[in-house]
Structure 1
Amino acid sequence: MLQLNPPLPMNTPKGEGFAHFLIDYGPESDLYWTVFVTETGEIWTFANREVRASKNITLGRTSPSVPRPAPPSRRQAGEAREPGVVPFAVADGQM
């Protein structure tokens, strides 16, 4: 875990905020950014693919892409399936 000093401005699915921490679980995992959302004060951790650097005219980043909402969790995806469809990974007969 790395505390960012200064915090980095970010665009997230929850709105603009400042990343205060960066978490790296290793080469087979995404980087995770802990962001304090400006509008609501909420603190969320987002995977690297869910966030974008904020606009910075000085650096030539005038229109960064908007991050896409996170895909539904495995549990939410399983609830939306058709009856009789078995998920590919079931542990101990539970979902």
Structure 2
Amino acid sequence: MLTQLDPPIPLHVLGRGDGYALAVIDYGPEHNLLWVTAIDATGEIWCAPNPEVRMQANWSLGRKKSLAVKASKESLATG
């Protein structure tokens, strides 16, 4: 099943960067969700499996940047 997200959800794909999830693909209980995501820095579209996706920090909701996102951003910065 493909579900279009309206509005898109801001998130971080580990190893790829920040972006917006445009849709979610659900192949059923034996598979990870796939987040169809447009990456901000490159414009690439990736179908990222659920374990590689993190919500972006949100100060108003009290959600801090995860350690995984911090490590991913540091890795992307160093190449």
Superposed pair shares fold, TM > 0.5: yes
How many angstroms apart in 1 are the aligned matches of 2:68 and 2:36? Answer: 18
Query: How many residue pairs are counted as aligned between the two chains?
Result: 69
Runs of 4+ off more than 3 Å: none
How many angstroms apart in 1 are the aligned matches of 2:32 and 2:20? Answer: 19
**Match of 1:43, as an amino acid?**
I
How many angstroms apart in 1 are the aligned matches of 2:5 and 2:30? Answer: 22
Identity of aligned residues (%): 42
Is residue 11–residue 66 contact of structure 1 (8 Å, CA) maintained in 2? no
Quote how far apart the aligned CAs of 1:50 are: 0.5
User: TM-score normalised to the size of structure 2?
Assistant: 0.80
Where does residue 60 of structure 1 map in the other structure? 62
User: TM-score normalised to the size of structure 1?
Assistant: 0.67
Please list, as runs of the form range in 1=range in 2, the aligned pairs for 1:70-89 lying within 5 A after superposition: none
Q: Give the number of the structure whose residues are more often strand, by fraction.
A: 2
Q: Larger relative CO (CA 8 A, sep 6+): 1 or 2?
A: 2
- From 52, 61, 75, give the equivalent of 1:50: 52
Quote how far apart the aligned CAs of 1:64 are: 2.1
Please list, as runs of the form range in 1=range in 2, the aligned pairs for 1:1-95 lying within 5 A after superposition: 1-12=2-13, 13-66=15-68
Quote how far apart the aligned CAs of 1:40 are: 0.6
Cα-Cα RMSD: 1.6
Is residue 52–residue 65 contact of structure 1 (8 Å, CA) maintained in 2? no
How many angstroms apart in 2 are the aligned matches of 1:8 and 1:15? Answer: 14
Larger radius of gyration: 1
